[in-house]
Amino acid sequence: MKKKIQLVLATAVLATAFQASAISEHYRQQLERSGCTQVTDGNGCDIHKSKAENASASHHAADTVSSSSLNKTLQGKSVTQATRTLKNTGWRPSDENALTFWNEAQQKTLRMKVDPKTDTVTAISVK
């Protein structure tokens, strides 16, 4: 009985003597170098890239999402309605032509593709 108690106590002491780390030192360094967190590592942040590369990738993803949502908003609208919508959201007509717009804050150019028969927006491209 005495040996069982000693064994249980020894196991308890050894178990508490070594504190477990949530992440390894190498993984922590990768997170720090990449600018990722454990959460963002699972959501597209690449721990094998630099902070700048990850920032660029996330910025590009944000541009894609905004272009996609803008395309959905404008698609099917008349050129007049689309122009009004763009002006209300910070886009200004470009000097190039009536279907090109510039956004100073985003430093982006938007070009509408229009169906000449119906005078409606069929797609946009943002660069």
pLDDT digit string, tens, across residues 20-60 = 556 789 988 988 888 888 777 766 788 888 888 877 776 66
Dihedral angle computed from the Cα positions of residues 31, 37, 41 and 47, in that order, rounded to the nearest 10 degrees = -20
Whether the predicted model's global pTM rises above the 0.75 cut: no
pLDDT band of residue 7 (cuts 50, 70, 90) is confident
Residue keyed to tokens 């470009």:
94
